Structure 1
């Protein structure tokens, strides 16, 4: 069964701990990187106590949860990896016959229990719940889809929120910039380190996100167009992966972003580029789904039986100065 870890602060000290019910069992390893935690566990330099009941634990309400994903790391993302999200983003799933990759800066990493800061020049702030994968083994050569085993490379799972400034990302064609401002990558709260029998549960994971208590996104991991095994094999053709690097597997439908209708798109195609995007932004500003200061975002990913549970994110949107 997967072991759930958190990175936390307690009495001005940062440590990693194993979650035991509603308590945390400190590992007393200090503020090491995600990579070093995974390597230490693999090589058994970091050991989780066998007699958990006899160990001193800390209540979760006495600690400050930090991101279980640490910089530096490479953050590789999949775009439009759920069919319905492709449609709402204005893409034709029948024409999109490729796996869309982009990257995100590790400057954007932040805690899962905390604040998302909307930059003062951003008006179209959007949310994207995603299943995050942490690599536990280097990839230096091409993996063959039919023969490689993904469990050799996937070390852990976590909840990710790919916060996006749509009025930067789309009009400026700046995916990296529009998705990389500070606090635009809430990660965690849990780093769920998998055991061999856990991999068959990944397709059973259910993703849910609410804004102010209203369900906005809900899907199952089986709905991915390109599942992790296929994606990692393709990624190996053009990327070098280090232990601790991240793959975000795409978001389901329900984002604030919604592409204009076909007639509006045809009309906009006759406009100069700057006017086209001005019309787009004005149209999107009429949508109430975009995040506003004071909004609360909650997200969870788990199987229906609770045997694989990545915890819950609780985020408050605040206005940047």
Structure 2
């Protein structure tokens, strides 16, 4: 088949202990899915229906080899958000909560990197979050652990340190909406497809990082990640509080 322009690259993730790789299709992200994080963002943590935003597949970085992510353009407040990532094996529409985990390929540790100043400006003006959330290199994700090997984690510590100092610490059992519920709710609006990823939300403790900072993220039972912030395009970055 002839193509009018160059074919975009296929973005893939490492599968722990396997030679094959996981092809990334779409990336769905759940907003404010931990009550304490909702409070720190100035929002009510009541269990209202979940909401989602998206990142392009090109935002995904294979974090299995200690990658560097560049400090992005047009921000002075670049934040880390540690998250449990769910990889979809079998698609479907109107998936029941009771059946949702049958559609999961595996799980990984990921970071939803955020241009917080741009996100909050857009939020306050009632505009989309894309410039704050959906940019290149904004989703470093570690090796996937297959559900057939580890089961479906429902609890376990989720942590992030920056330069060895604790920043985020919680438990995935504190998700307001569980993995099963997120899959079921999302599939009622959009048919899920093989290769889709769901980033399930971040706990409290989000804060800024600067060039040279080393982020280390972990979730019990999964492979941790180590990501360095490289120089990129620094525009008077804000120092963490």
The answer for the alignment partner of 2:224 in structure 1 is 312
Higher relative contact order (CA 8 A, sep 6+): 2
The answer for the alignment partner of 1:160 in structure 2 is 110
In the alignment, which of 29, 34, 38 is matched to residue 86 of structure 1?
A: 38
Q: Work out which of the two has the higher radius of gyration on C-alpha atoms and give 1 or 2.
A: 1
SS of the residue corresponding to residue 219 of structure 1 reads strand
SS of the residue corresponding to residue 67 of structure 2 reads strand
> What is the rounded CA distance, in whole Å, between the counterparts of 1:236 and 1:315 in structure 2?
32
The answer for the alignment partner of 2:213 in structure 1 is 295
The answer for the alignment partner of 1:142 in structure 2 is 94
Write out per-residue CA displacement over residues 50-80 of structure 1, whole angstroms, 9 at most, x where no aligned residue. xxxxxxxxxxxxxxxxxxxx4xx11011010
The answer for the alignment partner of 1:277 in structure 2 is none
After TM superposition, give the deviation of residue 150 of structure 1 in Å: 2.4
Distance 1:18 1:82, change over 3 A: closer
Structure 1 residues 53-92: aligned runs within 5 Å: 70=24, 73-92=25-44
> What is the rounded CA distance, in whole Å, between the counterparts of 1:208 and 1:127 in structure 2?
11
> What is the rounded CA distance, in whole Å, between the counterparts of 2:15 and 2:89 in structure 1?
19
After TM superposition, give the deviation of residue 119 of structure 1 in Å: 2.0
Over the aligned positions, Cα root-mean-square deviation in angstroms equals 2.1
SS of the residue corresponding to residue 171 of structure 1 reads helix
Contact 1:85 1:253 (C-alpha < 8 Å) held by counterparts: yes
Contact 2:13 2:144 (C-alpha < 8 Å) held by counterparts: no
Runs of 4+ in 1 over 4 A off after TM superposition: 14-18
> What is the rounded CA distance, in whole Å, between the counterparts of 1:16 and 1:130 in structure 2?
17
SS of the residue corresponding to residue 204 of structure 1 reads coil
Contact 1:164 1:184 (C-alpha < 8 Å) held by counterparts: yes
Structure 1 residues 1-321: aligned runs within 5 Å: 19=17, 27=19, 34-35=22-23, 70=24, 73-94=25-46, 97-112=48-63, 113-139=66-92, 141-145=93-97, 148-172=98-122, 173-188=127-142, 190-195=143-148, 198-199=151-152, 202-256=153-207, 290-302=208-220, 309-321=221-233
